[in-house]
Amino acid sequence: MEEHLLIGIAAVLILGVLAQWLAWRLRLPSILLLLIIGLVAGPVTGLLSPEAVLGELLFPLVSLAVAYILYEGGLSLSVKELREVGGVVFSLTSIGVVITWVLGAIAARFLLQLSWPIAILLTAVLVVTGPTVIGPLLRQIRPRGKTMAILKWEGILIDPIGAVLAVLVFEAILSEQLQQAPMLIAQGVLLTALIGVVVGLLAAGIVWLLLSRYWVPDQLHNGVSLLFVTLAFVVSDLLHPEAGLLAVTVMGFALANQRQVPVKQIEEFKKNVRELLIAGLFIILAARLSWTDFQAIVWWRGALFVLFLVLLVRPAAVFISTWRASLTVKEKVFLSWMAPRGIVAASVASLFALRLEEAGFAGSESLVALTFLVILATVLIYGLTAAPLANWLGLAEASPQGVLFMGAHPLTRELAELLQSHGFRVGLIDSNWRNHAAARMTGLKSYYGNALDESVLEAVDLAGIGRFLAMTSNDEANALSALHFAEVFGRSGAFQLQSSDSSDPSAEQSAPRHLHGRILFQPALTYAQLDELFAGGAQLKSTPITQEFTYADFKRQHPGTAVALCLIRKSGRLAIFTADGDLAPKTGDTLISLLARPEQQTIFEDGRKRKAAKAAAAAKTVF
């Protein structure tokens, strides 16, 4: 029995991480692959049975996992964003919810032929979208304007709202007081809001007090945070069903927006935990389905119901909720085409269906299957079409190729201008006012301040940006900023210059690889050397690579005096030369390089000596 339990838990983790990795490689929504793998492992092959593995612990663990996910979502919410989009978010999570619920219930009653109680409960479950689905899609699309902030806030806030609504409708159905549902729901929402906000703020206040007084060692910050998240969730849920989801969201929001205690370490931990929880939850809930659940669905009716939700209900909810908002028609269209359902809908429907079956309600057996049908269909529809739609509307780019530079000194300014002339979006960040002003005077988009300052980060427009190049004289700032932007662009898109510490060749870039970005251009080339080259007359140049003038010809023409910086592929994609890379320019590409004067060869010779000394020191260490 213990072996089966171990195999089952291991299978969930392995399949979950594998699905997320494959989704990243195939550029597909991860939730789509998670659901497919869960269905294959469960109802298709029967290899995984969540009830057999977890038994009665299944739904308590699912509820707790959802709470942790929403807490992490709360940590990503910003007061500044709320000031800008708060009105729209409030309308979507109030008026929009009511419109979705009413129109959806009518469709479920007449298209799916469900009884009114089950139809009302089903669409109460389906009003939620959820950060578990929207978050990955937004990170992939990175839309411009206010749409990203609106969808992020809506996805996080609507989960507890939708869960509370579903619980209250469920209680009204069981008590057979459906005609009094509006009054019960109003009372329940007020009570839930009161309990959730008070307990969430209280838990956040205790955590803030403990951390601000240094009563908790650094290595226990995450553990103590998790302790109070769990406590806030359990206490709130005991006081009122599903109030815990709101409490943990409020707790995360309160901690993220105070300025006295840094919570970066906690945010990092929660992000990693979130990915594992999402993977496990979707596989478990999909695997517990059975073919008999789906046999209750009339498939053509289910397809019409999904199309009704996608093509009519969501657009109606968005356009009615935002008719007085300062949004463009394109932004409203994009908001209308982004409502995939997620883990809260799946978990709540699974729990309610079981209890309704025990109570003997007709039609309850189709509740879970219909919910998963909507989840699968909406994830597939929005996941495959949202990015092309955003590109077509001009709100995003399919594969952002722009560059954000840290450092606006003369070399980076000229490189940014050159890339901009080739059609790439560029931005610069610099804490030196003269450099910042000079960049603005040349028509470049520049931001003044520290690249790690939150106010600067919030001001930076990342639309169309896909890479970060840290090119300042401050090695520590380069490394820290590269680590930060690796979270945004991935480690493959975060670069920095080689460390300038030349006093000990064996110590060159001695920090572990995970503590710095990818090293720019070529080994042993530091900021000091680049600055010396540029100040001494080296020039940036764009060189088309043709059949008549190959890359080999270019190297022969500039022996030892050229630094290859960037490569504009024939397809229009931008590639950055790195110390550990092996880019091979081909016919049709354009090479951007820094061409030194002949008398500057000694600078390159110094770099080659440092590289050789480093290799020799490394060999001594090994042997």
CATH at 70:
1.20.1530.20
Phi-psi region of 289 (alpha: psi -120 to 50; beta: other; left: phi over 0): beta
* DSSP string of 31-78, one letter each residue: HHHHHHHHHIIIIIT----HHHHHGGGHHHHHHHHHHHHHHHHHHT--
Query: 269 and 323 in one domain?
Result: yes
425 and 279 in a common domain: no
How large is the average pLDDT for residues 527-538? 83
d(CA 267, CA 273): 10
Q: Quick one: pLDDT at residue 369?
A: 82
Least confident segment among 140-154, 157-171, 600-614:
600-614
Q: Is the pLDDT of residue 237 over 60?
A: yes
Share of the chain above pLDDT 70, in %: 85
Identify the weakest region by mean pLDDT among 471-480, 546-555, 600-609. Answer: 600-609
**408 and 313 fall within a common domain:** no
Q: Is 564 part of a structural domain of the chain?
A: yes
Residue (of 228, 191, 192) closest to 209 by Cα position = 228
Q: Mean pLDDT, to the nearest integer, of 561-574?
A: 86
Q: By residue range, what is the domain housing residue 349?
A: 60-393
The answer to whether residue 256 sits within a structural domain is: yes
* Chain-centroid distance, C-alpha 287: 25
- In CATH, what number is assigned to the domain containing residue 617? 3.40.50.720
Task: Please write the tens of the pLDDT for every residue from 109-127.
Answer: 999 888 888 888 889 888 8
Residue 618: what pLDDT? 47
Q: Are residues 307 and 215 in the same domain?
A: yes
Which of these ranges, 11-15, 54-58, 130-134, has the smallest mean pLDDT?
130-134
Confidence of residue 98 (pLDDT cuts 50, 70, 90): very high
Of 107-121, 319-333, 489-503, 542-556, the range with the lowest mean pLDDT is: 489-503
The reported pLDDT for the residue numbered 477 is 85
Q: Which pLDDT band, with edges at 50, 70 and 90, does 182 fall under?
A: low
Do residue 75 and residue 182 come from a single domain? yes
The structural domain count of the chain equals: 2
- Same domain? For 379 and 268 the reply is yes
Both 364 and 406 in one domain: the answer is no
CB distance 404 to 469 below 8 Å:
yes
The residue among 393, 425, 443 that closes a domain is 393
> What's the pLDDT score for residue 107?
93
Say if 31 falls within a structural domain.
no
Nearest to 130, CA basis, from 281, 8, 234, 267: 281
* Confidence (pLDDT) at 236: 92
Flag whether 51 is in a domain. Answer: no
Q: E strand or H helix at 153, and its extent?
A: helix 147-174
List of residues 6+ apart from 543 with CB closer than 8 A: 549, 554, 590, 591, 592, 593
Helix (H, G, I), strand (E, B) or coil at 541: strand
Report yes or no on 141 lying in a domain. Answer: yes
Instruction: Find the mean pLDDT for residues 274-298.
Output: 77
Verify that 430 and 562 share a domain, yes or no.
yes
Q: How confident is the model at residue 204 (pLDDT cuts 50, 70, 90)?
A: very high
| Higher-confidence position of 241 and 213 | 213
What's the CA gap between 472 and 405, in Å, rounded?
9
**In the predicted structure, residue 619 carries a pLDDT above the cut 50:** no
pLDDT at 600: 61
pLDDT of 598-617, one tens digit each?
Answer: 766 655 555 555 555 555 55
pLDDT digits (tens, 9 = 90+) for 482-525: 888 887 777 888 888 887 754 444 444 455 555 677 888 877 77
Is the predicted pLDDT of residue 184 greater than 70, yes or no? no
The pLDDT assigned to 233 comes to: 92
Report d(CA 139, CA 489) in Å as an integer: 9
314 located within any domain: yes
- Contact predicate 589/570, CB 8 Å: yes
First vs last Cα of the chain: how many Å apart?
Answer: 50
56/119: higher pLDDT: 119
The residue out of 374, 393, 412 marking a domain boundary is 393
CA 607 to centroid of chain Cα atoms? 39
Q: Does residue 95 fall inside a structural domain?
A: yes
pLDDT category of residue 268 using cuts at 50, 70 and 90: low
If asked whether residues 449 and 571 sit together in one domain, one would say: yes
Higher pLDDT among residues 229 and 399, named by residue: 229
Residue 153 has pLDDT above 80, yes or no: yes
The count of other CB atoms within 10 Å of the CB of residue 600 is 18
Of residues 409, 412, 423, the one with CA closest to residue 590: 423
Range with the lowest mean pLDDT among 36-40, 137-141, 407-411?
137-141
Domain boundary among 346, 369, 393: 393
pLDDT at residue 447 is higher than 80:
yes
Residue 99: pLDDT over 90: yes
Taking residues 273-291, report their average pLDDT.
Answer: 79
pLDDT at residue 507 in the model: 42
313 and 458 in a single domain? The answer is no
Per the listing, tokens 């030349």 go with: 502
Give the mean pLDDT of the chain.
81
Q: Which of 134, 135, 126 has its CA nearest to residue 161?
A: 126
pLDDT at 475: 83
Q: Tell me: do 411 and 301 sit in the same domain.
A: no
Is residue 567 situated within a structural domain?
yes
Contacts of 275 (CB under 8 A, 6+ apart): 20
d(CA 200, CA 525): 51
The span from the CA of 459 to the CA of 447, in Å, is: 8
Type of residue numbered 105:
A
- Do 384 and 454 reside in the same domain of the chain? no
Question: What residues form DSSP beta bridges with 446?
Answer: 428
